Every structure is written in structure tokens, then in C-alpha cells.
């Protein structure tokens, strides 16, 4: 692939000038130089963003106007809905930054796959410490660090998890406006919802070309019921859309995953089994220890648990969206 294909970058920022500078500097330092960056300022009253852009004197970087308060989910949708003239596009959130060869390797890899619409890179994980310093954990988002592979649409993987990461993706712009999530969706699950819409397989680039930061201040919700509620929606929407045999096989796979990889996931499975008749089979796979642990959760937080199991009705708009997306696969 040559650098004749310009890439449009959507840089999303909200009141984090130091982090914005780090993100922009990683963009300016890219070995692939044919890009244009639209900086989306989610705080229209913050004049610092324009000043930061001006300070770099780089004609490839410009402020998106007018500045509109859309929130994180709305800004992601703006990026995917954009009728960009460029063949490729990517998102860079202000709290993340790219390795120097991110664009070069991602464009080259995706260009060699005419039928693949989106590629996602592995990420290094960093932690923000008090005082503004950063700690490199040595961990990555997934274990493999070399090669590429195809990631298909498997039912188990859609039950609560997501492979795509907002700042680690490069996509072909032609179909991206069909991948929009509800604007009122919590940012915590935008990747999970969008992954239901993107044509599979997705291309995984196992090399960590992105630095993902866990910041002290985050737009993600601190409400204890929210993550549990959307886990129920993600899991139950898959059970609702399949026959009895598929549900039994899926239940076996999910329980194996819960016991081997993620103990808290047991609670999500049992919540889902109570929330939807089509998912009752999940309870038939539970043992006495699973049920005892689950009852303790109810004793500790009965109102939270009740709110979670009512999620398919309480969040019916978002539940129906997932069902419709799954039915199109």
C-alpha cells in the first residue's frame, strides 16, 4: 500500500489538555504521514483546545466546528456517521496514544483484505497515578502479541464481551454509517453494541500498537447496577434469538467460561436466567455453590439485583436494538 490513501482521524477530547497534547503528538509522530485530523471538542466553552491545535502549526489538524456537547457516545457516532472522503478512518481519544507505526501497519494490513471492513490492534495498558505520572503495567488487552487473525461472529463472544476498542480501530468508511449505536447508550458498552453491527470477520492485529490508559477520572459510569444490567442485555439478547438446542450448547460454553476465566460472570449468567424465559437454561447448569454465591449477592444488594434482572423491560429500547442487530447476522 502507498501513502496515496489519506486517513481521517477523529480526535475526541473533553477538558484534558495535557492528555490531548500527548495524543496529538503521537499522531504527528506517525510514520504514515498522509492523514487529516478533525479534533472534536466536547466542551464548547473550552478555548484551550483551539489554542493547543494552533500551537502545533500543522495544517493536517483542525478543530471541528461548531463545537457541540454530544457526550462520548454521540461523538463516536459522529465519527462513524461522517461522510468522509477518505478511504480509511480512525478514532483517537485524548487519554490514549499511538505507537509510531500504528497507521502504517494498520493501513497496510487492512489494504490486503478487500472483504474486511475493520481492523483492531492490541493495546498496552497504562495506569494513571496520583500527581500525573503513568505506570506501564506490562499487560496488554489480549495475550497474543504477534501476527494477525480473523475474529468471527461467535455467540459466546457476543455474550458480554467485546474485542473492538475505540482508539485501536481502523475502518473502511464506505459502510460505517450503518454501525451507529443509540446516542443515549452508556459509553461503557458502546464497543459491545457496535461490534454487533460491524460485518464479521474483524481483523485482529495482535501487535500492541496503541497505548490504552486507565485514568483516575473517567466518563464511565460508577453506578453499581449499570454494568450488570447491560451484561444481562447482551447475554439475553443472544438467547432470545436462538432455538433450544443452541441455547443449551451456549449455556454450557458460558458456564465453562465463567468457571475457568471470570468468576463474577457467574452472577451475570444467573441474573440473565431470571430476567428472560429464553435464558432459563442457564439455571439448570448452576451447582449449589454457584447458587449460594448468587444468593449472597441478593442479600448484600437486593435493590441492585432487582434492577438488573428487570433490565430487558426497563431498558427495552436498548434490548430491542441488540435483538434487531443479532437477527441481521
Indicate which CATH number applies to the domain containing 108: 3.90.550.10
C-alpha cell at 155: 455467540
Whether residue 196 sits in one domain with residue 290: no
User: pLDDT tens-digit profile of 26-61?
Assistant: 999 999 999 999 999 999 999 999 999 999 999 999
Last-in-domain residue among 214, 245, 270: 214
**CA–CA separation, 98 and 22 (whole Å):** 9
CB 155 within 8 A of CB 322: no
Whether residue 246 sits in one domain with residue 142: no
Domain-embedded: residue 315 = yes
**CA–CA separation, 96 and 40 (whole Å):** 15
Last-in-domain residue among 154, 188, 214: 214
Whether residue 265 sits in one domain with residue 169: no
Domain-embedded: residue 1 = no
Whether residue 280 sits in one domain with residue 191: no
CB 239 within 8 A of CB 248: no
Q: Which residues of the chain have pLDDT under 50?
A: none
Whether residue 235 sits in one domain with residue 210: no
Alpha-carbon distances, residue 60 vs 15, 132, 222 (angstroms): 22, 29, 37
Residue 234: the pLDDT is: 97
Whether residue 146 sits in one domain with residue 101: yes
Whether residue 185 sits in one domain with residue 60: yes
Domain-embedded: residue 219 = no
Q: Which residue has the cell 477518505?
A: 86
Count up the domains in the chain and report the number: 2
How high is the mean pLDDT of the chain? Answer: 95
Alpha-carbon distances, residue 176 vs 110, 260, 291 (angstroms): 15, 36, 43
| Residue ranges making up the domain that contains 254 | 224-327
Residue 328: the pLDDT is: 81
Residue 147: the pLDDT is: 97
Whether residue 229 sits in one domain with residue 208: no
Residue 219: the pLDDT is: 63
Last-in-domain residue among 159, 190, 214: 214
Whether residue 256 sits in one domain with residue 282: yes
Whether residue 163 sits in one domain with residue 16: yes
Residue 84: the pLDDT is: 86
CB 98 within 8 A of CB 26: yes
Q: Which residue has the cell 483542525?
A: 62
Domain-embedded: residue 76 = yes
Residue 107: the pLDDT is: 97
Amino acid at each position: 500500500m502507498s501513502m496515496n490513501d489519506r486517513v481521517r482521524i477523529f480526535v475526541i477530547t473533553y477538558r484534558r489538555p495535557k492528555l490531548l497534547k500527548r495524543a496529538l503528538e503521537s499522531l504527528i509522530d506517525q510514520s504514515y504521514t498522509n492523514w487529516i485530523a478533525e479534533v472534536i471538542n466536547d466542551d464548547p466553552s473550552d478555548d484551550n483546545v483551539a489554542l493547543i491545535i494552533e500551537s502545533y502549526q500543522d495544517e493536517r489538524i483542525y478543530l471541528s466546528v461548531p463545537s457541540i456537547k454530544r457526550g462520548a457516545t454521540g461523538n463516536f457516532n459522529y465519527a462513524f456517521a461522517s461522510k468522509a472522503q477518505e478511504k480509511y478512518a480512525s478514532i483517537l481519544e485524548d487519554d490514549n496514544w499511538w505507537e509510531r507505526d500504528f497507521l502504517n501497519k494498520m493501513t497496510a494490513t487492512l489494504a490486503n483484505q478487500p472483504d474486511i471492513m475493520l481492523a483492531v490492534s492490541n493495546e498496552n495498558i497504562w495506569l494513571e497515578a496520583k500527581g500525573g505520572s503513568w505506570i506501564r503495567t506490562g499487560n496488554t488487552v489480549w495475550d497474543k502479541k504477534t501476527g494477525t487473525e480473523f475474529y468471527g461472529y461467535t455467540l459466546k463472544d457476543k455474550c458480554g464481551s467485546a474485542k473492538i476498542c475505540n482508539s485501536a480501530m481502523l475502518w473502511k468508511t464506505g459502510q460505517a454509517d450503518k454501525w451507529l449505536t443509540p446516542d443515549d447508550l452508556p459509553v461503557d458498552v458502546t464497543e459491545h453494541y457496535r461490534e454487533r453491527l460491524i460485518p464479521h470477520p474483524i481483523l485482529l492485529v495482535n501487535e500492541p500498537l496503541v497505548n490504552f490508559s486507565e485514568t483516575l477520572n473517567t466518563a464511565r459510569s460508577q453506578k453499581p447496577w449499570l454494568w450488570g444490567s447491560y451484561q444481562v442485555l447482551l447475554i439475553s439478547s443472544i438467547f432470545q434469538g436462538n432455538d433450544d438446542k443452541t441455547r443449551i450448547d451456549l449455556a454450557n460454553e458460558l458456564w465453562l467460561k465463567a468457571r475457568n476465566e471470570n468468576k463474577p460472570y457467574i452472577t451475570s449468567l444467573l441474573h440473565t436466567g431470571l430476567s428472560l424465559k429464553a435464558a432459563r437454561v442457564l439455571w439448570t447448569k448452576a451447582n449449589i455453590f454457584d447458587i449460594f454465591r448468587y444468593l449472597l449477592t441478593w442479600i448484600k444488594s437486593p435493590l441492585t439485583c432487582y434492577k438488573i434482572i428487570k433490565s430487558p423491560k426497563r431498558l427495552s429500547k436498548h434490548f430491542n436494538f441488540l435483538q434487531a442487530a443479532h437477527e441481521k447476522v
